[in-house]
């Protein structure tokens, strides 16, 4: 299982230092990826977990104030990077073309992109989820080679489940993950790992873990509770 913790824009330096001290002391059966705020990447250099970034620039480098390049992330031992999280799509008006460029620049620098996709409540109610998700996959993964596709991880995060306490049924998650995997196999003759994300906590984790085709989880709010995460990883 791959467990990705997205800290979003939370924690102070002191809190981060204390958090990291706790996670670096354990060994994990699952692969743990921590995505702190980029300001704190240098504080997460332990060897028993992996480091993820929440953002990356679509550009290689140069005059782009406020951006961070894939090459710079790589120099800080970043191995994974979130791409197209619904919050960055909204806050930065990211287009699918930009996300496609970000995926390419990450792969060029040896970083695994975690492409986040998800439908709104309205789109699900109108039975448009499949169309929305496959259009997004097609555009974000444009012109990638088979080898590159095989390195990409997809995170299914329904927008209506993020931070809301609402989690889709296991059946809905299983069907959607299966649809995503089948689409990619048909389009690119490659298989990818698919994670689920949205309102995961200590209690529903044991239920979600029984979904056979999910390869891991992308966790937001609950990931800030370092003790809770340790307990979850011991289950
Ligand atoms: P929550 O787990 O807080 O719902 O956030 C999910 C998320 O956005 C992870 O990227």
DSSP for 6-26 reads E-TT---HHHHHHHHHHHTT-
7 lines ligand 1 (CB under 6 A): no
At 27-47, the pLDDT tens digits run 999 999 999 999 999 999 999
216 lines ligand 1 (CB under 6 A): no
Extended beta strands in 120-234, E state: 153-156, 193-197, 216-219
Whether pLDDT at 235 is above 80: no
Whether pLDDT at 234 is above 90: no
Query: Which atom in ligand 1 lies closest to the alpha carbon of residue 200?
Result: 2
How many A from CA of 162 to the centre of ligand 1?
Answer: 5
Query: Which atom in ligand 1 lies closest to the alpha carbon of residue 116?
Result: 10
Query: Which atom in ligand 1 lies closest to the alpha carbon of residue 162?
Result: 4
| DSSP percent split of the chain into helix, strand, coil, nearest 5 | 45, 15, 40
At 75-130, the pLDDT tens digits run 999 999 999 999 999 999 999 999 999 999 999 999 999 999 999 999 999 999 99
User: Global pTM?
Assistant: 0.98
SS3 of 145, please?
Answer: coil
Looking up residue 175, the CATH number of its domain turns out to be 3.20.20.70
144-162 burial code (b ≥16 CB/10 A, e <16): beeebbebbbbbbbbbbbb
Q: Among 7, 34, 199, 224, which is best to mutate for testing ligand 1, by the most ligand atoms less than 8 A from CB?
A: 199
How many A from CA of 30 to the centre of ligand 1?
Answer: 19
86 lines ligand 1 (CB under 6 A): no
Mean pLDDT of the chain: 97
- pLDDT category, 61, cuts 50, 70, 90? very high
What's the rounded Cα separation, in Å, for the pair 87 and 209?
25
- CA-based torsion, 198, 199, 201, 207: positive or negative: negative
The answer to whether residues 102 and 56 touch, using CB atoms and an 8 Å cutoff, is yes
Q: What confidence score (pLDDT) does residue 103 get?
A: 98
CA distances from 152 to 130, 145, 146, 179 (A): 19, 11, 10, 16
Q: What's the domain count of the chain?
A: 1
* Structural domain harbouring 86: 2-233
Q: What stretch of H or E contains 231?
A: helix 226-234
Q: What is the average pLDDT across 166-174?
A: 97
How many A from CA of 138 to the centre of ligand 1?
Answer: 24
Q: What is the average pLDDT across 157-161?
A: 98
Show which residues are catalytic.
85, 157
What's the rounded Cα separation, in Å, for the pair 40 and 43?
5
32 lines ligand 1 (CB under 6 A): no
Q: What confidence score (pLDDT) does residue 11 get?
A: 98
């Amino acid at each position: 299982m791959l467990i990705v913790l997205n800290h979003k824009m939370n924690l102070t330096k002191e809190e981060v230092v204390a958090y990291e001290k706790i996670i670096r002391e354990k060994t994990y059966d699952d692969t743990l990826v921590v995505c702190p705020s980029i300001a704190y990447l240098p504080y997460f250099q332990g060897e028993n977990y992996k480091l993820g970034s929440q953002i990356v620039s679509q550009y290689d480098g140069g005059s782009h104030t406020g951006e961070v390049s894939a090459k710079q992330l790589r120099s800080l031992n970043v191995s994974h990077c979130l791409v197209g999280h619904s919050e960055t799509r909204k806050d930065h008006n990211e287009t699918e073309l930009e996300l496609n460029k970000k995926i390419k620049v990450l792969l060029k620098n040896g970083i695994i992109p975690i492409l986040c996709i998800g439908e709104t409540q309205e789109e699900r109610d109108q039975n448009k989820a499949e169309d929305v998700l496959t259009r997004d996959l097609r555009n974000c993964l444009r012109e990638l080679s088979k080898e590159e596709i095989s390195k990409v991880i997809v995170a299914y995060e329904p927008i209506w489940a993020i931070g809301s306490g609402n989690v889709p049924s296991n059946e809905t998650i299983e069907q959607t993950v299966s649809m995503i995997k089948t689409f990619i196999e048909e389009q690119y003759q490659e298989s990818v790992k698919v994670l689920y994300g949205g309102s995961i906590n200590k209690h529903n984790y044991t239920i979600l873990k029984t979904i056979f085709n999910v390869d891991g989880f992308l966790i937001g709010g609950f990931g800030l509770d370092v003790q809770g995460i340790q307990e979850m990883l011991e289950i």
